[in-house]
Structure 1
Amino acid sequence: MSKQPPADPEIPGATGSPCAYRDTASPRLLYAVRHGQSTINAGLRPATPTEADDMVVELTDLGVRQSVALGRWAAALPAGQLPEIVLCSPYRRAARTWQLAEAELRAAGVALPCRMTDPRLYDRFRGTLAHIPVSEVRERYPEQYAAEQADPLGYRPPGGESFLDVADRVRGVLDRIAADTRHHRVLIVAHDAVILLLRRLLEHLDDTATLAVADRGLAGNASVTAWAREADDYRLLYYDHREHLPRT
């Protein structure tokens, strides 16, 4: 069964790379990247309990190519738009995505952002329903399916968390960013649920507007979403940007 990683709101990450940046001002740009395609995204069901552990799900070959393309996209950014710090989900597929992207920055001679793992950025944990397709949940667990349809954002699967639970921990990450005076430009590498809730929080979306974003389509693998900070608020620049990605 999938394991939910511990989240420590006081210690946002114990792993990372050194940071050469010094006190400046609050971040002016915020990027959010979804990890490259994973085996689960490709429709491959876990064959063993280890494979079902969300923390160790791997990238597919396409996910690797997407991650490399992401790095090339980042390397081509103007100097004033390059991220200065990367906050990464603790899941392997997210960490691997940035590792591959970072290699492209290094190859291009671009200054590398410092990097931290923030355990609050893990994907929505679906408990006993993890990795079970919606169609199968509808057939095998009709009561759970009906409960989620009745309250898509607030529904909490057995042993899991709701989208609103994810929003609570993402809010803590935003508090961390707001308090950081060393970095103007921040890049988050995480998951589609995290990006959806970032939009909810940064753009002050109510339930109806949040669900409308989800209905139009969640962020794709290795896509980029960006916001600019203006005064005390954020403005969406673009969502689910994929033009840098390979088709196959």
Structure 2
Amino acid sequence: MRTDDESAWGQGVFEAPCAHPENSGAVELLYAVRHGQSTANAAYAANTFIEADDSTIGLTDLGERQAAATGRWFAARDSDQLPDLVLCSPYLRAVQTSQLLEQELRAAGRDLPCHHIDQRLYDRHRGRLSTLSPIVVRERYPEESAKEARDPLGYRPPDGESFRDVADRLRGVVADLAADQRHRRVLIVAHDAVVLFLRQLLENLTEAEISAISEDGLAGNASITSWERHAGGYRLLAYDQRTHLSQI
């Protein structure tokens, strides 16, 4: 159980050194949680936008409640299902989600995981189109909207990155998970694009399969996606699970 005090929290970036021994086994259970609703998500839903550095966008009141509800879901798990490591995006909304999740674990008297900010888990960088909704992009930058429609996975916004770029940086994360001999259950707290392309890499999905999943809907705020290890890699247990959010 982690014994550091709360002074490591609250500044947007946190680390909890790992005390788990080597050779404790491979990662058997993997969770991915999308951050709770952010101020940009709320603006996006209203077809407006906010002027802000994407990395500094925080949670709304609803997002905080969503993150707490996710923490209570984990706090209710059996010990052999609790994460012993959290890998978190460096973006503020993901860090805040992790903070609130851990508060619920602490309140329930559960063992706390070690934590690591992984710089590879940031949201897809949309460059000059960051925080703009599709409607706003179509109105202001119709040529960029047309380029994206022609190649959704390969399109790079001005000064931004494509979805294929996201998948490329996540390959290192997946390789590190495969080599991890300290942790059995890992929780990743990040973004919808990260969850989607973790699915591609962990489940060996084609781009056509990933596109179909995306068209059906990306992982919602504070949703839980989970996989378990099996002989061929990882098997999906649940995607975009939101039942824990029904009563907030």
User: TM-score by structure 2 length?
Assistant: 0.90
What does the per-residue CA deviation read over 1:9-36, in whole Å, with 9 as the maximum and x for residues that have no partner? xxxxx94113232121110011000000
In the alignment, is the contact (CA less than 8 A) between 1:84 and 1:112 conserved in 2? yes
1:65–1:246 CA contact under 8 A, matched in 2: no
2:59 is paired with a residue whose SS is coil
Separation of aligned partners in 1, 2:50 and 2:235: 43
Which residue matches 1:21? 20
Per-residue CA deviations over 1:134-161 (Å, capped at 9, x if unaligned) read 1121122122111100110000111000
* Whole-angstrom distance in 2 between the partners of 1:78 and 1:188: 19
Contact 1:66–1:246 (Cα < 8 Å) also in 2? no
User: In structure 2, what is the Cα distance between the partners aligned to 1:203 and 1:150?
Assistant: 26
Is residue 125 from structure 1 mapped to residue 125 from structure 2 by the alignment?
A: yes
The answer to whether structure 1 residue 111 and structure 2 residue 111 are counterparts is: yes
SS of 1:40's partner is helix
- Kindly, what percent of the aligned residue pairs are identical? 59
| Superposition pairs of residues 1-12 of structure 1, within 5 angstroms | none
Indicate if the aligned counterparts of 1:69 and 1:246 stay in contact, CA closer than 8 A. Answer: no
Instruction: Map 1:41-52 to 2 at 5 A.
Output: 41-43=41-43, 45=48, 47-48=50-51, 52=52
Aligned residue type for 2:120: R
Distance in 2 separating the partners of 1:63 and 1:137:
25
Moved over 6 A (4+): none
The aligned residue for residue 150 of structure 2 is 150
Secondary structure of 2:210's counterpart equals helix
Cα 1:179–1:15, aligned 2, differ >3 Å: closer, same or farther? farther
Q: Which residue number in structure 1 is paired with residue 210 of structure 2?
A: 210
Aligned to 2:75: 75
Alpha-carbon contact 1:39-1:59 (below 8 Å) kept? yes
CA distance in structure 2 between the partners assigned to 1:70 and 1:213 by the alignment: 23
**C-alpha distance in 1 between matches for 2:247 and 2:135:** 27
Residues 1-248 of structure 1 mapped to structure 2, 5 A cutoff: 15-23=14-22, 24-43=24-43, 45=48, 47-48=50-51, 52-246=52-246
Are 2:50 and 2:131, in contact at CA under 8 Å, matched by a contact in 1? no
Q: Distance in 1 between matches of 2:141 and 2:209?
A: 28
**SS class of match (1:43):** helix
Question: Per-residue deviation at 1:61?
Answer: 0.3
User: Equivalent residue of 1:236, what SS?
Assistant: strand
Report the Cα distance in structure 2 between the residues aligned to 1:169 and 1:227, rounded to whole angstroms: 20
**Partners in 1 of 2:37 and 2:136 — Cα distance?**
22
Letter of the 2:21 counterpart: R
Q: Which amino acid aligns with 1:149?
A: A
Counterpart in the other structure of 1:8: none
Change (3 A) 1:47 1:214: closer
The Cα of 1:129 is off from its aligned counterpart by: 0.8
RMSD: 1.4
- Cα displacement (A) at 1:47: 4.9
Shift in CA distance, 47/217, structure 1 to aligned 2, threshold 3 Å: closer
TM-score (norm: length of structure 1): 0.90
Give the CA deviation at 1:247: 5.2
Q: Which amino acid aligns with 1:122?
A: Y
> Is the deviation greater in 35-44 or in 90-99?
35-44
SS in 2 for 1:228: strand
User: How many residues are matched?
Assistant: 232
1:205-232 per-position Cα deviation (integer Å, ceiling 9, x unaligned): 1111101100111001011000001124
Unaligned runs of 5+ in 1: 1-13
Q: Contact (CA 8 Å) 1:85, 1:114: kept in 2 or not?
A: yes
